[in-house]
Chain A
Amino acid sequence: MRKPYSKPGGAARDRLSSARHLTDEALLRSLDGELSSKEAADVDVHVQSCWSCRGRSQAIGQSIADLVDYQNAVTAPYLPPPVDQRGIFLARLDALAVEMGRPSWLRTRLNEAIRFLRLSQVNQFAWVAGGLVLSISVPIFYVLRTPPVVSADELLSLTAASEVRSLKTAAEPVVVQKLRISMGKKTLTRTVYRDVAHNRTTSRTNASNLGEAQVRAAYLKTSLDWDSPLDTNTYRRWRAAYPANSEKVVRLGTDELRLETTPSAGSVTEADLTVRLADYHAVSENFHLQDHSEIEIAELSYDVIPFASLPPGIFGVPAQIAMPRLSIAATLHSVLPSGAELAEAEVKTDSVLHGLGADLGEQIDITTHAGREVLVEGVVGDDVRRHELVSALQKIPYTRLHLLTIDEAARRSSSSPVSSSVQPSASAGPVIVASPPLLEVQLGARFPDKDQRIAYVNQTLSLAQLASARAWALNRLADRYPPQRIVVLDDDARRQVQVLLTDHVSALREDISSLQNQLGEILSRTSNTPAANTSLTAPLQSNSASTPEFSEDWRTRVRRAHSSTEAVHEAVAALLTSSPSSDHNDAEAIEVNLRTSLTQLRTDLQLLGQDIQKPNLK
């Protein structure tokens, strides 16, 4: 016989029980953990002894389970939420943050005080106990988890690799990096948008134009790139331009490593770059200048988002840009410059165009005109691009600008403003052919899905084209800076040329490395071919017969690197797009040629990198 249920006493009695059985609400509250411990114990005792209430409890539980299953099934087709919306949200948040501006000092302190008072309401004992546990466990954890300290070069390589990896998380990646830049008492928040594929950069700050200009002027003393602050490659280039007197990597706690560099020359006396150990991502950097000022850059957020998720026009809205007055003679000086001054103006012009990505195949020529001015002429895409270039170039002395848009150039069909120099293949569109590619079998095996296959081919061709464009830019510098021109440059101008060359070589090495990795996905699978005997990622054979002479002029190496890059580009295009007359034997020959060219190129670029970093560039 069932044991009679003893009703819980007090106010809960009516709510929990009805006659000899528990109410539905009591059973539901019990399942939901919404009863006091005394009530819950009473209910448990009753449910154990009463089959009726136990059955009802199980029925309620089953209904809840059905409901959850139902809801999961209803939402399943819509999950997970779309990824591209995150970028839009970040842009909206960024705009709102800019709109609201920085909180006042008083407001910040007030908020902190309010927060502290709220926190202090928490059990004091818990705080004390927690503090004790932390004070004991943190040193133990610190000792037990000692991360390895790597060399400076290794650290920078790992950090650069981390950045490259992060770029692979989105199609047409755009880096959205929010930074806090402090100089003395001045602090500004700057959000930099870097369109990697198109080499475009734009930024927003929460500071006034004057405030930004002051911080920017101080920052430019470091000889770093204002458009790419807190960027590993920028740091590497700076480090290459000013070889370090001393350098060390120190550990900051268990989570970070810091590279401390003391350069041998330049306006920076000390610099450091802090890297997060978890993913080797650079999170802050500091520069101590000769005038005892200090610049601190800290990353507030870093995201890589697809270009398509950004608001349109973020890299330039024509309607919002006031067009400059485009005079044929933007700057005309009555006094004739010396040869050295003209050469310096030309170097500055090169640097500015490089900073704007205008030296990678855009139809712009730089020539010295009549020994009195540097003439910059060519054709650009539209008014916005022209405005961007003119704004940056018009302050350089002895410089005359003659830039047309494509529409204007088309209207002047009787004359050709386009330079006669050969443009790199980067400006050409993708090769379109009807016949199957030479590596069709390997492509099909590696990428059974057609869309993936097309994406891989396009990506690989783009990499090859980009490398080709960089090699072309290097080649043009080699042509325009023969020894007799270098010799008239002063130290600063010469260093600027070195920075330009170093920048291109570093970028080209990265491009080639990425291309090798990309090609490795397919070519490593063709191990039954003679071509596979040369590994794509094999270490450099510095003693091989093909190794160039170490005493060669850097221009010779540049030209050979250009030629090798072109060969690589052509080989990649031939393998992935083919021609009607190609056959299997062609594929093997081309693959051998590709591997040979890549090996040659890596050797050349390594030696070239060493050549152009020598103190006295000739």
Chain B
Amino acid sequence: MSGNVTSDGIVRLGLSVPTEDVDHLRAEGPEQKIVQLYDTLRPSLYRYLINIGLSPQDAEEIVQEAFLRLYRHMRAGGNEENLRGWIYQVAHNLSVNFHKSRRRLIETTPELWEQLSQSWLDSAPGPEEQLLQKERILRVHDGLSKLTQLQRDCLSLRVEGFRYREIGEMLNVGTSTVAGSLRNAIVRLVKGCS
């Protein structure tokens, strides 16, 4: 683990490359920065939390809590480089507590599955394509269900565009572990689809 752990139990990221979307906010006050960051990052963070299995209510609660913690962090003079990575890391850590007590959303809502399958079918042009689409969705879902938690976390963060090193620092593992987890996860998905 290369980052430092703050008093909040949060891994502080020592990344040198700032996120372009938020870097220009430095010249403003912390409240304004937080509100602008919230507006900028909230949709993707919310989607990420839904993706890792939280209910919409829990996802929104975690989003708000993460940004309030970020405000405290900034008021305390914390590092403001790569605030996007910081906020995802805090949200991820908070979500772990929810996962411990609640089952994953996508495993508990058959209605969603019905809706999901239908939306894939609707996007396919013909009956054969629809059948293929249905098989693909089932394979991806089956493949994901066979992955370890670490592999799923790595995949979800990679989908959000984070680099291996950022993912490693967020999950408190080395870059090579991230690479190995992603490799194993993708190989399993490829085999499931072949």
Contact A107 B189 (CB under 8 A): no
Is A66 an interface residue when CB atoms closer than 8 A count as contact?
A: yes
Q: A24-B187, A74-B116, A85-B64 are in contact. Are A79 and B47 (CB under 8 A)?
A: yes
Q: How far is the CB of B133 from chain A (nearest CB, A)?
A: 9
A112-126 vs B, CB cutoff 8 Å, 1 = contact: the mask equals: 001100100100000
Residues of A within 8 A of B47 (CB): 75, 78-79
Residues of B within 8 A of A71 (CB): 51, 156, 159
Contact A34 B179 (CB under 8 A): yes
Contact A25 B79 (CB under 8 A): no
Is A92 an interface residue when CB atoms closer than 8 A count as contact?
A: yes
Is A82 an interface residue when CB atoms closer than 8 A count as contact?
A: yes
Contact A67 B189 (CB under 8 A): yes
A25 and chain B: residue at smallest CB distance? B183
Q: Tally the A-B contacts, defined by beta carbons under 8 Å.
A: 126
Query: Which of the residues B42, B144, B159 comes within 8 Å of A81, measured between beta carbons?
Result: B42
Residues of B within 8 A of A24 (CB): 183, 186-187
Is A534 an interface residue when CB atoms closer than 8 A count as contact?
A: no
Is B155 an interface residue when CB atoms closer than 8 A count as contact?
A: yes
Is A50 an interface residue when CB atoms closer than 8 A count as contact?
A: no
Q: How far is the CB of B191 from chain A (nearest CB, A)?
A: 9
Q: A62-B193, A73-B120 are in contact. Are A100 and B75 (CB under 8 A)?
A: yes
Query: Which of the residues B68, B80, B183 comes within 8 Å of A115, measured between beta carbons?
Result: B80
Is B129 an interface residue when CB atoms closer than 8 A count as contact?
A: no
Is B134 an interface residue when CB atoms closer than 8 A count as contact?
A: no
A56 and chain B: residue at smallest CB distance? B190
Q: How far is the CB of B178 from chain A (nearest CB, A)?
A: 9
Contact A74 B50 (CB under 8 A): yes
Is B140 an interface residue when CB atoms closer than 8 A count as contact?
A: yes
Residues of B within 8 A of A34 (CB): 163-164, 179
Q: How far is the CB of B192 from chain A (nearest CB, A)?
A: 8
A96 to B31, CA, bound (A): 10
Contact B179 A29 (CB under 8 A): yes
Q: How far is the CB of A177 from chain B (nearest CB, A)?
A: 13
Q: A73-B119, A82-B60 are in contact. Are A63 and B32 (CB under 8 A)?
A: no
Is A152 an interface residue when CB atoms closer than 8 A count as contact?
A: no
Residues of B within 8 A of A79 (CB): 43, 46-47, 50
Contact B38 A89 (CB under 8 A): yes
Residues of A within 8 A of B60 (CB): 81-82, 85
A95 and chain B: residue at smallest CB distance? B68
Q: A71-B159, A178-B31 are in contact. Are A66 and B140 (CB under 8 A)?
A: yes
Contact A25 B64 (CB under 8 A): no
B65 and chain A: residue at smallest CB distance? A92
B95-128 vs A, CB cutoff 8 Å, 1 = contact: the mask equals: 0000000000010000010011001100000000
Residues of A within 8 A of B187 (CB): 24
Interface of B is mostly: helix
A107 and chain B: residue at smallest CB distance? B77
Which of A59, A103, A110: most chain B CB closer than 10 A? A59
Q: A73-B119, A80-B43 are in contact. Are A300 and B64 (CB under 8 A)?
A: no
Query: Which of the residues B81, B136, B156 comes within 8 Å of A118, measured between beta carbons?
Result: B81
B24-37 vs A, CB cutoff 8 Å, 1 = contact: the mask equals: 00100101101100
User: How many of B's residues come within 8 Å of A, CB to CB?
Assistant: 57
Is A64 an interface residue when CB atoms closer than 8 A count as contact?
A: yes
Residues of B within 8 A of A336 (CB): none
B188 and chain A: residue at smallest CB distance? A63
Is A70 an interface residue when CB atoms closer than 8 A count as contact?
A: yes
Is B146 an interface residue when CB atoms closer than 8 A count as contact?
A: no
Query: Which of the residues B140, B155, B194 comes within 8 Å of A59, measured between beta carbons?
Result: B194
A115 to B155, CA, bound (A): 33
Q: A93-B35, A93-B67, A111-B77 are in contact. Are A68 and B159 (CB under 8 A)?
A: yes
Is A366 an interface residue when CB atoms closer than 8 A count as contact?
A: no
Which of A25, A70, A77: most chain B CB closer than 10 A? A70
Q: How far is the CB of A351 from chain B (nearest CB, A)?
A: 34
Is A32 an interface residue when CB atoms closer than 8 A count as contact?
A: yes
Contact A81 B190 (CB under 8 A): no
Contact B77 A114 (CB under 8 A): yes
B120 and chain A: residue at smallest CB distance? A73
Contact B32 A301 (CB under 8 A): yes
Contact B189 A93 (CB under 8 A): no
Q: A24-B187, A74-B51, A77-B112 are in contact. Are A82 and B193 (CB under 8 A)?
A: no
Is A352 an interface residue when CB atoms closer than 8 A count as contact?
A: no
Contact B77 A66 (CB under 8 A): no
Contact B75 A28 (CB under 8 A): no
A59 to B187, CA, bound (A): 9
Residues of B within 8 A of A97 (CB): 31, 71
A28 to B154, CA, bound (A): 13
Contact A301 B189 (CB under 8 A): no
Contact B35 A25 (CB under 8 A): no
Contact B77 A32 (CB under 8 A): no
Residues of A within 8 A of B42 (CB): 81
Query: Which of the residues B64, B106, B136, B194 comes within 8 Å of A89, measured between beta carbons?
Result: B64
Is B90 an interface residue when CB atoms closer than 8 A count as contact?
A: no
Query: Which of the residues A77, A85, A115 comes within 8 Å of B115, measured between beta carbons?
Result: A77
Residues of B within 8 A of A178 (CB): 31
Contact B56 A93 (CB under 8 A): no
Is A90 an interface residue when CB atoms closer than 8 A count as contact?
A: yes
Residues of A within 8 A of B80 (CB): 115, 118
Residues of A within 8 A of B59 (CB): 78, 81
A76 to B106, CA, bound (A): 13
Within 8 A of A (CB), among B133-158: 136-137, 139-141, 144, 155-156, 158
Which of B34, B186, B193: most chain A CB closer than 10 A? B186
Is B180 an interface residue when CB atoms closer than 8 A count as contact?
A: yes
Q: A28-B183, A29-B179, A115-B80 are in contact. Are A301 and B35 (CB under 8 A)?
A: yes
Residues of B within 8 A of A64 (CB): 186
Contact B116 A73 (CB under 8 A): yes
Between-chain CB contacts (< 8 Å), 25 pairs: A24-B187, A32-B182, A34-B163, A59-B193, A64-B186, A70-B144, A73-B137, A74-B112, A74-B116, A75-B47, A75-B50, A78-B47, A81-B46, A85-B64, A90-B35, A92-B64, A93-B34, A93-B68, A96-B71, A96-B72, A97-B71, A110-B77, A111-B77, A178-B31, A301-B32
Which B residues lie at the A interface, using CB under 8 A? 16, 26, 29, 31-32, 34-35, 38-39, 42-43, 46-47, 50-51, 56, 59-60, 63-64, 67-68, 71-72, 75, 77, 79-81, 106, 112, 115-116, 119-120, 136-137, 139-141, 144, 155-156, 158-159, 163-164, 179-180, 182-183, 186-187, 189-190, 193-194
Q: Across the A-B interface, give the 4 residue pairs with the lowest CB-CB distance, nearest first.
A: A111-B77, A63-B189, A81-B46, A25-B183
With A71-B51, A78-B46 known, 19 other A-B pairs at CB within 8 A are: A25-B180, A28-B183, A56-B190, A59-B190, A66-B136, A66-B189, A70-B140, A77-B115, A79-B47, A79-B50, A81-B42, A81-B46, A86-B39, A93-B34, A93-B68, A96-B68, A110-B77, A118-B80, A301-B35
